[in-house]
Amino acid sequence: MLLHIPNVLDSAQVLRMRGALENAEWADGRETVGPQGARVKRNEQLPEASPLRATLGREVLDALARHPLFHAAVLPQRMLPPRFNRYTGGGQYGFHVDGAVMALSEGGQLRTDVSCTLFLSDPQDYDGGELVINDLYGEHEVKLPAGDAIVYPSSSLHRVCPVTRGARIAAFLWAQSLVRDDGQRQLLLELDGAIQRLSRSGADADALLQLTGVYHNLLRRWSEA
């Protein structure tokens, strides 16, 4: 499931984050990937131990937690603290698949079910830099307004096109979902959306109750909590 999550951050939050990141010390992005990824990755990231990364990351997680569409689509069980990257001067990241399992800072591991990129630069501020996601239906180019996010299966082959003008700045993270299967998550999202629309339209209360019960019983059956 490839889904646009609008308005995760408002314009004031984006401006404040961008201001903080303008003066940040960036590190080579290849420090956080293995040998295979390092061959195709050319960008910069906030260092893993950066206090700024921790501060801004908490703000991003709080914003995502408040967003009903993100929660409905991802059904997050655990999420990795966000990282922040910058692409400039031809920087790019060739086709790759995200690692299936990643270490948590407090110990233990997280299975990467869903990848999320939160754009912090507006499309007119840079040329190139499209996130290209390859799935069964072909390649999809994503370049969203600052403050908007895209979520997609972590199993997807994807890349970031070269940035030939300006700077593309974004936050990115991974989530382990309560529901491992992407197709099941999509069905639950569609069912949840239909229930919400029927509720707003004043549909029959007994039918709504029955549909809501179906949603929760499917979530109960498929959840790994």
Tens of pLDDT, residue by residue over 5-24, are 999 999 999 999 999 999 89
Domains of the chain, CATH where assigned: 3-177 (2.60.120.620), 182-222 (4.10.860.20)
Give 122-135 pLDDT, tens digit per residue.
999 999 999 999 98
Q: What is the pLDDT at residue 105?
A: 79
Instruction: Tell me the whole-structure pTM to 2 decimals.
Output: 0.94
Give 19-55 pLDDT, tens digit per residue.
999 989 999 988 877 777 778 999 999 999 999 999 9
Contact 153, 177 (CB under 8 A): no
Give 157-199 pLDDT, tens digit per residue.
999 999 999 999 999 999 999 999 999 999 999 999 999 999 9
